[in-house]
Amino acid sequence: MSDHRHGHSCEDKENLECLNEETENSGKDVFKPWEQRLNFEKFVESDCDEELLFNIPFTGNIKLKGIIVVGANDDSHPSKMKLFKNRPKMTFDDVGVKADQEFDMQRDPTGRLEYSPKVVTFSSVHHLSIYFPKNFSDGEESTRIYYIGLKGEFSEAHRHGVTICNYEAWASPSDHKVDQGDTVSKMIQ
């Protein structure tokens, strides 16, 4: 997770995946430091059509506040972006469900446009799927992305394990010994 100014990252890049990328693992290359956003040597390009789907797990919880997407100043730039919150391992079979938020995009070859997700919806994100269904070419050209920047606040994940507790249904006399030394017993008739 970049705040667009630092190189801090909280994406789980090892488990980040991009579906329909022409070159394997090239989707990971677009999540780079803000200072490298205009380095066009590394990019991701869609393979058999214009669709790209990113599954981005985070190492904690994110309050997502902004997304920047740098593409070329041509028809390969994505024209629509759909965001899905906390739906790990999405595939193209899953993208038909209603997105948590959608954006109509503009060409942005310099990273000046920031798309703002709804704060209430994206306040506790541990996994983000970003789906680019089309570009400006009307399906005649592949989609190419050079940079994706995510802006937000990071907090450590609170992973609660299973706690094993034993509760007594009945008291066990052996667990509750009473000192009998000072007690007086009387027979009541």
Pairing of strands 101-104, 80-85: antiparallel
124 is a domain residue: yes
* H-run or E-run covering 132: strand 125-132
pLDDT, position 107: 97
pLDDT, position 129: 98
pLDDT, position 143: 97
94 is a domain residue: yes
pLDDT, position 50: 96
54 is a domain residue: yes
Chunk the chain into consecutive blocks of 10 residues (it has 189) and report each block's average pLDDT, rounded to whole numbers.
44 88 96 95 95 95 96 96 97 97 97 96 96 91 96 78 45 54 44
188 is a domain residue: no
Q: Is the dihedral of CA 64, 133, 47, 19 positive or negative?
A: positive
Domain containing 54: what range? 17-161
pLDDT, position 184: 46
189 is a domain residue: no
CATH of residue 138: 2.60.120.470
Structural domain count, the chain: 1
pTM for this predicted structure: 0.79
84 is a domain residue: yes
Q: Give the burial class of 109: count Cβ atoms within 10 A of its Cβ; 0-12 exposed, 13-18 middle, 19 or more buried.
A: middle
183 is a domain residue: no
135 is a domain residue: yes
